[in-house]
Chains A and B, each alone.
Chain A
Amino acid sequence: MSDAPEAPVAPEVRQPVVTPVRVIIALCLVAPFVAMLWVSSYAKADPDFIGIPFFYWYQMLWVLISTALTLIAYQLWQRDQRGRKALKDGASR
């Protein structure tokens, strides 16, 4: 994440496309793909949860994890857009 470019303090309203916040958003959105497509990481029966094999409860747990991640991405994106809008309005005033 550290290699994301710093926001320049240029006088122009032009803002960088890649910012640390956007990198976090991207990570939140990519994480479920890594977790779910790496099937061999969860293709096993133990440990079970109230009798449900690992394979099943782990994926259901990821429904919740991915929902939380999407929610974070959504909040960060809202903030990112508001910030940009404020900057733009401030600059054009």
Chain B
Amino acid sequence: MNDGVNGVALAVFIFFFLAVTVMGFLASRWRRAENEQSLDEWGLGGRSFGTWVTWFLLGGDLYTAYTFVAVPAAIYAAGAAGFFAVPYTILVYPLIFTFLPRLWSVSHKHGYVTTSDFVRGRFGSKGLSLAVAVTGILATMPYIALQLVGIQAVLDVMGVGGGEDTNWFIKDLPLLIAFGVLAAYTYSSGLRAPALIAFVKDTLIYIVIVVAIIYIPIKLGGFDDIFSAAGEKFSATNEATGKPVGSLVPGDAGTWTYATLALGSALALFMYPHSITATLSSRSRDVIRRNTTILPLYSLMLGLLALLGFMAIAAGVKVENGQLAIPQLFEDMFPDWFTGVAFAAIGIGALVPAAIMSIAAANLFTRNIYKDFIRPDATPAQETKVSKLVSLLVKVGALAFVLTMDKTVAINFQLLGGIWILQTMPALVGGLFTRWFHRWALLAGWAVGMVYGTVAAYGVASPTQKHFGGSSKEIPGIGEIGYIGLTAFVLNVVVTVVLTFVLKAVGAPDGIDETSPEDYTADAGDKGVAVELPKVGAGH
């Protein structure tokens, strides 16, 4: 792998990297509003993005560098099981079609910046809102760390960073520079920076995928040859388990796992703070619905990308770390200059989500921890200042995480993060449609889901790991293997429903709901919406 530096590829990579850096800093002037010192401006881009900007932003946000590296890597390693990412992203859009416009409306009406803002307003419970905020921050941190893992993968294949024996500082210097730059323009431009860079990122990604999916199969002799090579590899027996190492089509035992992973991941995706941040930055309710009809273009791309995993097998790419399979395939197949383009796509693909994630986590901290618990009288300008600083801290934290700990730690936490974030769904989506749930019941359900999910994931062993070896486990009572996050979610809902009945029966005090039914359908231009935004945090 580290057989010298690929000079041409590196030069192209650096060129694109410099270009987006300049864009990132200039972004602060793009669509600049008068009131710069508010969280609506820095953290939500002035809530002004139209259909196309939102499309690029959401696409750039959800389909991260890590996705591009990890999905084909999973296919490369095990075949069919890794393809669940495709049904997962198919199911996301009908889901968000139903609930996100309601969240947009109520957030616009009341000036909510985060999901926790909404939960606090709806249920009148700072405790519940804190639970949602902490879960969001915990789930986002390892996700940012994984973006770094994505950049590291391409740097590694390009031969940058030296061999094993170079001093750690030289080895990690490229990564440090990339992240320093990212941190600086996120700090100065806020959400506008990733929104602008997302254009470059997605254009590059689309070009690379289209070229890869046409060029590589031709070089490898067509899909017939690709899949027969893959079938051959997967039929080999794994020495540790005595079973085949993978399969081209999931067996009967695998169907439950496949379906629950797809459903659970689809439910979880829009609970992540960064998805919500990108959504709330859109200009109107309609922008969101229209986006659910054009975002699936990314799913198609993801499906094609997943097939690259098979191509890596057919091309004879042999890597110990599956994460390197796709970068290595690109380097083996493409001319050097185009390898540079492909690597730039992955590298920039890491910067966009990392910026949005750090903004989202910072907003959660500022609004739902700092303002709610530390300084209730913070002005919008102070909020923005805190958010900017926290976005830096979050990134430094993620960097420290990746540099000091083994990569598998970040991957384990990311796995846990998915399980955790799903546990905020009853409060958030439940709250959008009904006020029936009791706030304490929701908190108890959340706690049960978190504890079950964590314990269950801890207990999963794999041939290489004793704990956190995977995200699926036998579902109690059904006996099939299913996604832990979904099982935890079902437990969470059951606990919430039962306790709501109990709490209502004993007359436990309900929180104050500051929203009213028509808030959930309000649109831009309606009274009190959009034309003049309510002061941040002023409530009603």
Over the window 482-505 of chain B, the binary record of Cβ atoms lying under 8 Å from chain A Cβ atoms (1 yes, 0 no) is 000000000000000000000000
Interface residues of B in 270-311 (CB under 8 A from A): 289-290, 292-293, 296-297, 299-300, 303-304, 307
CA distance A47 to B254 in the complex (A): 21
Tell me which residues across on chain B come within 8 A of A30, comparing CB atoms: 94
CB of A91 within 8 Å of the partner chain: no
CB of B258 within 8 Å of the partner chain: yes
CB of B176 within 8 Å of the partner chain: no
Q: Beyond A36-B91, A50-B222, is A63–B296 a contact (Cβ under 8 Å)?
A: yes
List 17 other contacts, CB 8 Å, given A33-B263, A37-B87, A62-B87. A36-B87, A36-B90, A39-B258, A40-B252, A43-B254, A44-B249, A51-B222, A52-B227, A55-B80, A59-B86, A59-B87, A60-B303, A63-B300, A66-B93, A69-B94, A70-B292, A73-B97
| Complex contact B300–A53 (CB within 8 A) | no
CA distance A52 to B308 in the complex (A): 12
Tell me which residues across on chain B come within 8 A of A73, comparing CB atoms: 94, 97
Of chain B, the residue at the smallest CB distance from A33 is B91
Tell me which residues across on chain A come within 8 A of B222, comparing CB atoms: 50-51
Of chain B, the residue at the smallest CB distance from A45 is B249
| Complex contact B94–A70 (CB within 8 A) | yes
| Complex contact B300–A32 (CB within 8 A) | no
| Complex contact A67–B252 (CB within 8 A) | no
Q: Which of A38, A51, A53, A66 contacts B90 (CB 8 A)?
A: A66
CB of B262 within 8 Å of the partner chain: yes
CB of B224 within 8 Å of the partner chain: yes
Task: Say how far B214's CB is from chain A's closest CB, in angstroms.
Answer: 12
Task: Say how far B350's CB is from chain A's closest CB, in angstroms.
Answer: 24
Task: Say how far B301's CB is from chain A's closest CB, in angstroms.
Answer: 9
**B225, B299, B304 interface centre (most CB from chain A within 10 Å):** B299
Tell me which residues across on chain B come within 8 A of A69, comparing CB atoms: 94
Tell me which residues across on chain B come within 8 A of A10, comparing CB atoms: none
**A33, A39, A59 interface centre (most CB from chain B within 10 Å):** A39
| Complex contact A45–B248 (CB within 8 A) | yes
CA distance A47 to B259 in the complex (A): 22
| Complex contact B83–A55 (CB within 8 A) | yes
Instruction: Give the interface of B toward A (CB within 8 A).
Output: 80, 83, 86-87, 89-91, 93-94, 97-98, 222-227, 248-252, 254-256, 258-259, 262-263, 289-290, 292-293, 296-297, 299-300, 303-304, 307
Q: Interface on chain B toward A: helix, strand, loop, or mixed SS?
A: helix
CA distance A36 to B255 in the complex (A): 11
Task: Say how far B4's CB is from chain A's closest CB, in angstroms.
Answer: 36
CB of A71 within 8 Å of the partner chain: yes
Q: Beyond A29-B97, A67-B293, is A52–B223 a contact (Cβ under 8 Å)?
A: yes
| Complex contact B90–A39 (CB within 8 A) | no
Q: Beyond A50-B223, A51-B224, A73-B97, is A43–B255 a contact (Cβ under 8 Å)?
A: yes
| Complex contact A74–B97 (CB within 8 A) | yes
Tell me which residues across on chain B come within 8 A of A38, comparing CB atoms: 259
CA distance A56 to B94 in the complex (A): 21
CA distance A65 to B289 in the complex (A): 17
Interface residues of A in 45-90 (CB under 8 A from B): 45, 48, 50-53, 55-56, 59-60, 62-64, 66-67, 69-71, 73-74, 77
Tell me which residues across on chain A come within 8 A of B252, comparing CB atoms: 40, 43
Tell me which residues across on chain B come within 8 A of A33, comparing CB atoms: 91, 94, 263
Tell me which residues across on chain A come within 8 A of B226, comparing CB atoms: 51
CA distance A55 to B255 in the complex (A): 12
Q: Beyond A36-B87, A62-B90, A67-B293, is A56–B303 a contact (Cβ under 8 Å)?
A: yes
A-B contact pairs, 16 of them (CB 8 A): A29-B98, A39-B258, A40-B255, A43-B80, A43-B252, A51-B222, A51-B223, A51-B227, A52-B227, A53-B248, A56-B307, A62-B90, A64-B300, A70-B97, A70-B296, A74-B289
| Complex contact B86–A60 (CB within 8 A) | yes
Task: Say how far B50's CB is from chain A's closest CB, in angstroms.
Answer: 16
Task: Say how far B144's CB is from chain A's closest CB, in angstroms.
Answer: 28
Of chain A, the residue at the smallest CB distance from B226 is A51
**A28, A51, A71 interface centre (most CB from chain B within 10 Å):** A51
Task: Say how far B91's CB is from chain A's closest CB, in angstroms.
Answer: 6
